[in-house]
Amino acid sequence: MDHQQDEGRTAPHASIVLCAYGRRELTERCLQNLEYALGDQLGTRFELVLVDNGSPDDTAALFDSWRERATVVTLARNGNYAGGNNAGARAARGDALVFLSNDVEVLPGAVETLSAQALEPGVGAAGARLIYPDGTLQHGGVIWRSLPWGATLPCHLFHHEPGDLGLARATYDLDAVTAALFAMPRALFLELGGFDEHYVNGLEDMDLCVRTRLAGRRIVYRGDACAFHIEMATRTIDEHVEPNIERFVGRWGHLFEDDEPTVERLFGARFSPDLYPSARPEVAPGGSPITIEGPVVSLAPEAAEARALLAWLDECGLEPALRDWQPSWYAPRLDDDEWERLRAARLRPSCRAPLALVVASGSLFGLLVRPGSVVRLAGPRPLGSLEAAAEIWASSPAVAERLERDGVPTDKLVVIPPLIADVPLGVGGSGVIALLPSHDPERCRVLLAALAALTDSAIRVVPSVHTDALAQLIAERLPTAELLAPVTNESAWAALAAGSDVAVCIDETDAFDRRALLAARAGAATVSLAEGTAAAVLGPELAMPWRPGDDLSEAIVAALTRTSARRVRAERVREQCGPAAAGATMRARLEALSDTPIIVGAGAPARP
């Protein structure tokens, strides 16, 4: 082994270990991104350890060009992921080790965040949010799931969900995180013996995480530390999958239980039922003339709008087909009738050329638009082109104006507010209920400070992600407040709002503002974002808008003086967002875009 290291230098804060086996061009791009993200800190505060894992190409020449700023380790043969990174860790001098796969492109702040987190007392490891090049999530932490054949194995949270999903941007403790971008105290890594080299490019990181937890240390997922991951671009693991699983399960399988309770505790969610049967026809004669497409069975806020569209089309008698772009293992805690509707739509074939109603989700989600599709949109323009779309249904005039400024032709834009079902009008009396966006620490700080300024109102807080750290923070700053569990069922949220005088909904990730609109439909005076859809629907006389930078406590106090107009608010939402209003506009547009009427009369479908 050959490596260069200056023992006279002050020990760095952390050592970044980058191990490469071939694929020089990918490694070079990884290093360029790392240099951009860290600037002058690279090679000083953050030591760089480069491991040439017996590469068959000219990776050695690339690493030679970095010798003035890096420690270079050259291995005569490929030691696989575990062996190569162990060699790099032995050459490192930092207090923390940051393992970086050469198919990862870090964003600014990610390395600093992970290394600092790993060195906090009691922490054993920290992992990052990883995004595929198409904008979907590769990794939002790891949980255990019992599979149909009996094994309980680690699975990525939020796999293929939108990359900017709010839940995945939060910070929470788990039992494991992936080592593609992973930080750990160097002393602990060496104490535990590093990665187990019996694994061949798979599960060695999970094995290390299990040993870390057994050592009594926390493992922290940091959704605010982000990188792009071209997974599997540098290695092939197929032939080693079974031996890796056999070793992992044989060693640790007795410790694992299904993690659905963890998913429920953190997010108010559940594992999805079997919504993806293997045998169903995609296309069939007499199949549905319309499909609902996008992330539909998902925790993304936009998915609730997709499910509302599905329910409305079903009630019209159209019987739409559901086409989820990516299977989601995690889902809201929907009512039984909602699950049955999703199951039926998922099994339903479409006709040969259906009209696709595509619900866009998140600005990082790659948009797949077939020619002639309708795109339902509430937020920033997503990845991908809108040129093929026949129409874009914007949730508010403000969204339509932004799209027009982005170059979307005016004749393609139709403003249709979100579909909000009828919910019972409540009498209030329970004070203030506030949605806490756990993924946004600054917004949480502003909200908690505003709530703390209230002296005469009962307060209930509903976090998007429930963590022990958040519970402690609320206990310190709002000792009289009631902390509720996360709520992913719209009916349950509407019931909470119906009993409340004021609902505070200032989460920017809820692009369709469905929580604010449901609260207003249930009668609560609603504080929402000034540029949001709810403010546009309610209008200046009923909306209680808030802009970041303004005094949120003033907006809440003002809302408390308007609690008597419950029925007026509810009627305003019904008049603009109910099936009779928004649905009428959608009906007209769908009929105009179809060669033959899709929805006729009182709802009987006409099949092409």
Q: How far apart are CA 376 and CA 367, in angstroms?
A: 11
Inform me whether the pLDDT recorded for 599 exceeds 60: no
Q: Are 219 and 295 in the same domain?
A: no
Q: What secondary structure letter does DSSP report for 410?
A: G
The pLDDT value given to residue 268: 96
Burial of 476 (0-12, 13-18, 19+ CB in 10 A): exposed
- Residue that the structure tokens 């989700």 belong to: 361
Q: Which amino acid is at 558?
A: A
Encode pLDDT of 391-428 as tens digits: 999 999 999 999 999 888 999 999 999 999 999 999 99
* Among 156-160, 189-193, 205-209, the least confident range: 156-160
What percentage of residues in the chain have a pLDDT greater than 70? 92
Domain boundary among 266, 295, 327: 266
Per-residue confidence at 1, pLDDT binned at 50, 70, 90? very low
Tell me the torsion sign for CA atoms 258, 264, 265, 267. positive
The pLDDT value given to residue 13: 94
Q: How far apart are CA 439 and CA 563, in angstroms?
A: 29
Does 1 map to a domain? Answer: no
Encode pLDDT of 439-480 as tens digits: 999 999 999 999 999 988 999 999 999 999 999 999 999 999
Q: Are 94 and 212 in the same domain?
A: yes
Q: How far apart are CA 131 and CA 321, in angstroms?
A: 29
Sequence-distant (6+) residues with CB within 8 A of 312 are: 419, 579, 583, 586
**Domain of 138, in residue numbers:** 14-266
- Residue in 77, 76, 98 with CA at minimum distance from that of residue 89: 98
Q: What secondary structure letter does DSSP report for 13?
A: S
Does 301 map to a domain? Answer: yes
The pLDDT value given to residue 8: 46
Q: Are 30 and 162 in the same domain?
A: yes
Contact 259, 143 (CB under 8 A): yes
Encode pLDDT of 208-229 as tens digits: 999 999 999 999 999 999 999 9
Does 604 map to a domain? Answer: no
Encode pLDDT of 537-559 as tens digits: 999 999 999 999 999 999 999 99
Collect contacts of 396-402 with beta carbons under 8 A, ≥24 apart.
396/532, 396/533, 396/536, 396/537, 397/536, 398/531, 398/536, 399/533
Does 327 map to a domain? Answer: yes
Encode pLDDT of 93-139 as tens digits: 999 999 999 999 999 999 999 999 999 999 999 999 999 988 889 99
Q: How far apart are CA 440 and CA 506, in angstroms?
A: 11
Encode pLDDT of 470-496 as tens digits: 999 999 999 999 999 999 999 999 999
The pLDDT value given to residue 371: 87
Structure tokens at 271: 């594992």
Q: Are 398 and 470 in the same domain?
A: no
Overall domain count for the chain? 3
CB atoms closer than 10 angstroms to residue 562:
17
The pLDDT value given to residue 588: 87
The pLDDT value given to residue 70: 97
- Residue in 340, 359, 377 with CA at minimum distance from that of residue 290: 359
Q: Are 226 and 343 in the same domain?
A: no
Q: What secondary structure letter does DSSP report for 607?
A: -
Task: Look up the CATH number of the domain holding residue 521.
Answer: 3.40.50.2000
Q: Which amino acid is at 503?
A: A
Does 275 map to a domain? Answer: no
The pLDDT value given to residue 6: 47
Mean pLDDT, rounded, for 600-606: 39
How far does the chain reach from its first CA to its final CA, in angstroms?
A: 70
The pLDDT value given to residue 339: 92
Task: Look up the CATH number of the domain holding residue 100.
Answer: 3.90.550.10
Q: How far apart are CA 30 and CA 463, in angstroms?
A: 36
Does 213 map to a domain? Answer: yes
Inform me whether the pLDDT recorded for 295 exceeds 90: no
| Three state DSSP letters for 121-176 | CCEEEEEEEEECCCCEEEECCEEEEECCCCCEEEEECCCCCECCCCHHHCEEEECE
Q: Which amino acid is at 295?
A: P
* Stated pTM of the model: 0.92
Inform me whether the pLDDT recorded for 306 exceeds 50: yes
The pLDDT value given to residue 3: 46
DSSP element (H, E) containing 226? strand 218-229
Tell me the torsion sign for CA atoms 547, 553, 557, 563. positive
Higher per-residue confidence, 151 vs 244: 244
Q: Are 401 and 535 in the same domain?
A: no
Q: Are 304 and 367 in the same domain?
A: yes
Per-residue confidence at 603, pLDDT binned at 50, 70, 90? very low
User: Which region, left, alpha or beta, applies to residue 22 given φ > 0 means left and ψ of -120 to 50 means alpha?
Assistant: left
Q: Are 367 and 450 in the same domain?
A: no
Encode pLDDT of 490-529 as tens digits: 999 999 999 999 999 999 999 999 999 999 999 999 999 9
Structure tokens at 395: 């949730």
Mean pLDDT, rounded, for 256-277: 86
Q: How far apart are CA 564 and CA 558, in angstroms?
A: 12
Mean pLDDT, rounded, for 304-312: 95
Does 594 map to a domain? Answer: no
Q: Are 96 and 171 in the same domain?
A: yes
Mean pLDDT, rounded, for 356-363: 85
Q: Are 130 and 35 in the same domain?
A: yes
The four Cα atoms 514, 520, 523, 526 give a dihedral, to 10 degrees, of 120
Does 99 map to a domain? Answer: yes
The pLDDT value given to residue 230: 87
- Residue in 91, 108, 123, 107 with CA at minimum distance from that of residue 16: 91
The pLDDT value given to residue 4: 44
Inform me whether the pLDDT recorded for 239 exceeds 70: no
Q: Are 444 and 358 in the same domain?
A: no
Contact 439, 167 (CB under 8 A): yes
SS3 at position 70: strand
Strand partners of residue 435: 462
Q: Are 160 and 87 in the same domain?
A: yes
Q: How far apart are CA 430 and CA 498, in angstroms?
A: 9
